[in-house]
Amino acid sequence: MAVQVEEFNVKPEVLLLEQLLDEVRSGRLRVPRFQRPYVWRPDQMLDLFDSIERGYPIGSLLVWETSLQLPSLDQVAGIDIPPAPDGSIAYLLDGHQRLSTLFGALIHRPEPSTGSRDRHWWIYRMLGTTDPRELRFQHSGRSAPPANLLPMQAVLRTMDFLTYARRLARDPSTADDCDALVDEAEQFAQRIKSYKIPVVRLLGGDLPHAVEAFSRVNSGGRQISPDQMVSALTYRAETEETLTDRITAIRESIGDSGFGDIGSEPVFQTIVAVTGEDDVQGARWTALADRMSGDLDGIVKQAEIALHRAVRFLRYEVGVPLAWLVPYPQQIMLLAVFFHHQPDPDGAQLRALVRWFWSTSWSTVFVGGNGFQVRRALHYMRAFATDRAHLNLQGLYAQPLPDRFDTEDGRVRAFLLWELGHFGHRYGLDGEPIELIELLARSGPAAYRRIVTGVPSASSVANRIIMPTPPGVSVREALLDLPPRRLRTVVVSHAIPPVALARLVADDRNEFIQERTATLAGLEREFIQEIGAELAWELGRENGTIDT
């Protein structure tokens, strides 16, 4: 007998901010567990309150009201939420980051200790400033911040607000201006209390109806991500773990291996590819979820095993020490697909995969996540893994050394990866080897310091080296302060040739960068030829894309 699905309707409404928070505090508005975790940075939290004070819209929230029971979070922003009451429940589908920020900063909570991880929920509004450039909202790491900082958690509670007003009157730094500061605080509190947020409420229907509606709504400037959608669609009441939980667990297990976080995208796309789907970026998610529902545990387990094999290959065959250095996330997914179909490759296959990795890293094939290119690469990788074809590298044109140091650029990451392997032993100012991987794992791209400044070409990738220096001392100053013999040893280990060093000593900054650029570009080209990727360079030359 078919299950009767209640009628599906859409109800737009506008709620006061305080009403919205009351729904969360009562447990009636809940965050489903398939939502992504809270990830906002402190500056994003402050920007949200700045927008509210100025009366700017912060986007609508999308909620689904239903009598169905979904696994939901028992805490929001670290604050306990009571169990859902009887009757219909509203589940937040879009707006988790915004609502958690508002709830965490405005709802009363015990004062944390100095340095506590909960201190980021304590946001303050600065009173008494007339400079529009002054940052009105800020965090404070101190348990007793200055008296003119109004805690946001005192805004909605009358007793807390009165306590703060008495503090203004007692504190010597604010006592003389107490009346004006209290007036300013009251006006600000009224703006918060009267702020209205549009809410799109989906009534009735089933989970696929709600997710389909979510996929068509672009509130907050974005649509639901595919992994969230499939996680929701594959939810089953009999299991505690959602697909989002499983993806997080895989990321954590890979991160624990020392490789770092690979992100949710390649994990989700690997799971999709394991099902046999060709379009891992734009599949018909509802149909895919139906196929996955019967064996979600088995599919996820196969994807996890394949991803761990891909990561081992990257670390020990290619020499990629950390996840953030992988040029394109699609490479992780495609390698995982290979190891899913071919868990025990021979030496020739491994060498072909290494060549494929570098050739795709130097080219633009995965720039922007081109859907057609990814589908074609997936087709070739499956055929290669099942001995039906060789890896096809035709049309992969190697690009020249980038002009700018931008680690969001996959070609820059490819360069850094090559340089890391080619100059594996580098010396610091003390003449001792630098622990490169440890430093890169701790500092990320910030480990790469500019050598010279003050010239247009200072943003070049050839103007960066991994070189810790004392506070306030530039890399150039630190290098030139070394004894001559140690200076030569250090700069050679960082691929600074003698002619470039001479330019650095003479303070010919542009010429220094040009000399080092020429040296690095030549060495990188030799490496490309050595591993057997001449085809990519030749094709690039013929098409005018390679700087010879």
pLDDT tens for each residue of 194-234: 999 988 888 876 666 666 666 555 444 345 566 666 666 56
pLDDT of residue 407: 92
pLDDT of residue 85: 83
Burial 522-547, CB ≥16 within 10 A → b, else e: eebbeebeeeebebbbebbeeeeebe
Closest residue by Cα to residue 442 from 264, 321, 271, 293: 321
Average pLDDT over residues 52-56: 89
As given in the structure block, the two tokens for residue 460 are 């070049």
As given in the structure block, the two tokens for residue 195 are 């702020």
- Amino acid sitting at position 279: D
The answer to whether residue 458 scores a pLDDT higher than 70 is yes
Average pLDDT over residues 92-113: 84
Share of the chain above pLDDT 90, in %: 48
pLDDT of residue 536: 43
The answer to whether residue 515 scores a pLDDT higher than 90 is yes
pLDDT of residue 542: 39
Query: 325 or 295, which is more confident?
Result: 325
pLDDT of residue 236: 58
As given in the structure block, the two tokens for residue 464 are 């960066």
The Cα–Cα gap between 480 and 484 comes to 9
CB-CB contact of 460 with 405 (8 Å): yes
Average pLDDT over residues 255-275: 91
CB-CB contact of 238 with 70 (8 Å): no
Closest residue by Cα to residue 357 from 400, 308, 391: 391
CB-CB contact of 191 with 52 (8 Å): yes
Torsion of CA 377, 382, 384, 386, to 10 degrees: -170
Determine the 3-state secondary structure of 225 from DSSP: coil
Average pLDDT over residues 122-146: 80
pLDDT of residue 219: 42
Average pLDDT over residues 452-464: 92
pLDDT of residue 447: 94
The answer to whether residue 546 scores a pLDDT higher than 80 is no
Query: 117 or 23, which is more confident?
Result: 23
Average pLDDT over residues 165-194: 91
pLDDT of residue 517: 93
pLDDT of residue 118: 66
The Cα–Cα gap between 303 and 128 comes to 56
Average pLDDT over residues 337-350: 95
**What long-range pairs does 462-467 form, CB within 8 A, spacing at least 24?**
462/401, 462/513, 462/516, 462/517, 462/520, 463/405, 463/513, 463/516, 464/405, 465/426, 465/494, 465/496, 466/426, 466/434, 466/436, 466/439, 466/440, 466/494, 467/428, 467/429, 467/434, 467/494
Element spanning 372, H or E: helix 371-385
pLDDT of residue 209: 64
As given in the structure block, the two tokens for residue 505 are 């000593």
The answer to whether residue 506 scores a pLDDT higher than 70 is yes
Share of the chain above pLDDT 70, in %: 85
Out of 72-81, 130-139, 490-499, the most confident range is 490-499
527 band by pLDDT with thresholds 50, 70 and 90: confident
- Amino acid sitting at position 520: L
State the chain's mean pLDDT as an integer: 84
